[in-house]
Amino acid sequence: MINREGETIAVPINRGTGTSAANVRKIAEERIVPRAGEIDKTGEYPWDLLELFKQQDLLGLSVPEEYGGSGADMLTYCLVVEEVARACASTSLIIAAQELGLMPILLGGSEEQKRKYLPKIAKGEYICAFGLTEPNAGSDAGGIRTRARREGDEYVLNGNKCFITNGGIADVYVIFAKTGPDAGLKGISAFIVEKDIPGFSVGKQEDKMGIKGSATAELILEDVRVPAANLLKREGAGFGIAMQTLDMTRPGIGAQALGIAQGALDCAVAYARERKQFGQTIGSFQAIQFMLADMSTRVEAARQLLYKSASLIGNSKELGVAPSEVTRFSAMAKLFASDTAMQVTTDAVQILGGYGYMKEYPVERMMRDAKITQIYEGTNQIQRLVIEKCLVGD
């Protein structure tokens, strides 16, 4: 682990290379920072950095060693995402989106499914994606219209998905569909769908405000025949798998937001030390000092909440933590860190003034990137509802 004073506490990430959080920071500074502006400008997926992450065994952090992964805990995963996001939010999604896509298989897959898919996912041979959102079903996951009809040893899937991260580049998708159209949430099931299966295609690639180097696309399923063996757990288990997945991956979005916020704070501090107005550096003005103090306080508060959440989730069984507490802390970490990222990046742009508004400086990109962290994997309004229900019950 690395604190902001630069002190390093060794946190092993995988058994293969001995990669540590300190090494991830070094990689980010040397290989990702120089690419971040270009990735944002061109909107091209950074295939070179995907290859780099493959070499460093960073694409299967939470996959147990028995399935070819690193067996890292939640805190280690969050540290890695934070350090990469501090350099480039788009690039951090290579790791975070892989985690989101593999988690339903890890949580709901059979032993056979795990052994078939997880080793290739962990090695980066398979890129994966999570297919829940639809044009008419975002926060209301129960409103999905994609259907799955059983025919012998197969399920026939029809429907559309939208805003799917890794859409078009993934090899394996976990698709959520209604097997019981009249059963509400209990009628949702989850299926592993491989990209080359007939009837499966990729539609529009989205042109986004931020995270431009991440592929986000529409998925189209027209009479897609999926083997019954690709059903996760059982019919009707899909909604539970989706919610458990988000409990486990929302801290990763919190880590992404925290990294963005820290990167923006670093830029603002450096600028305040150098920029002169009225014969002195702007960091000597109390108005700027107070802004930086508030930004730093928010970042550290978000960091502590995120790390507590990650540690709690990683040790929930040993600590006897109730599932509702895992859900609550996961939602709180994502909520607070993403709100912090939006506030801190906005303030960083303000401190840089006109320069902050120009693409020459990275805070403009960071502000655009920060916004999505308040939206995906559950909007922050939904996070507040989740937290309240964990506290009060419903």
Same domain (yes/no): 230, 325: no
Same domain (yes/no): 68, 147: no
* pLDDT at position 82: 97
* pLDDT at position 394: 64
Same domain (yes/no): 106, 246: no
368 lies in some domain: yes
pTM for the whole structure: 0.93
Residue 55 belongs to domain spanning: 21-123
Task: Answer whether 43's CB lies under 8 Å from 213's CB.
Answer: yes
- Residues with a catalytic annotation lie at 377
* pLDDT at position 331: 97
Interval 218-228: pLDDT, tens? 999 999 999 99
DSSP string, 286-335: HHHHHHHHHHHHHHHHHHHHHHHHHHHHHTHHHHT--HHHHHHHHHHHHH
Q: How many CA atoms lie within 13 A of 153 on its CB side?
A: 2
Same domain (yes/no): 251, 378: yes
> Which of 168, 203, 235 corresponds to the end of one domain?
235
The stretches in the chain having pLDDT less than 50 are 1-18
44 lies in some domain: yes
227: domain CATH number is 2.40.110.10
Residue 172 main-chain phi, psi, to 5 deg = -135, 135
Same domain (yes/no): 192, 247: no
Same domain (yes/no): 49, 105: yes
221 lies in some domain: yes
Interval 41-98: pLDDT, tens? 999 999 999 999 999 999 999 999 999 999 999 999 999 999 999 999 999 999 999 9
Same domain (yes/no): 147, 206: yes
* pLDDT at position 319: 80
42: domain CATH number is 1.10.540.10
324 lies in some domain: yes
* pLDDT at position 21: 74
> Which of 74, 102, 123 corresponds to the end of one domain?
123
Same domain (yes/no): 84, 138: no
Q: Which two tokens stand for residue 164?
A: 């799917």
Same domain (yes/no): 253, 209: no
CA distance 324 to 392: 11
Same domain (yes/no): 265, 376: yes
Same domain (yes/no): 193, 61: no
Q: What is the dihedral of CA 301, 293, 295, 330, to 10 degrees?
A: 0
DSSP string, 211-249: -TTS-EEEEEEEEEEEEGGGB-SSTT-HHHHHHHHHHHH
Percent helix, strand and coil across the chain, each to the nearest 5: 55, 15, 30
4 lies in some domain: no
Q: Which two tokens stand for residue 267?
A: 């830029």
> Which of 91, 123, 155 corresponds to the end of one domain?
123
Looking at the structure of the chain, the number of domains it has is 3
Q: Which two tokens stand for residue 148?
A: 């799955």
Q: Which two tokens stand for residue 78?
A: 């969050």
14 lies in some domain: no
C-beta pairs of 117-121 under 8 Å, 24+ apart in sequence: 117/172, 117/192, 118/60, 118/63, 118/67, 118/68, 118/69, 119/67, 119/68, 119/69, 120/68, 121/59, 121/60, 121/63, 121/172
269: domain CATH number is 1.20.140.10
Same domain (yes/no): 282, 226: no
> Look-up: residue for tokens 């962290």?
373
328 lies in some domain: yes
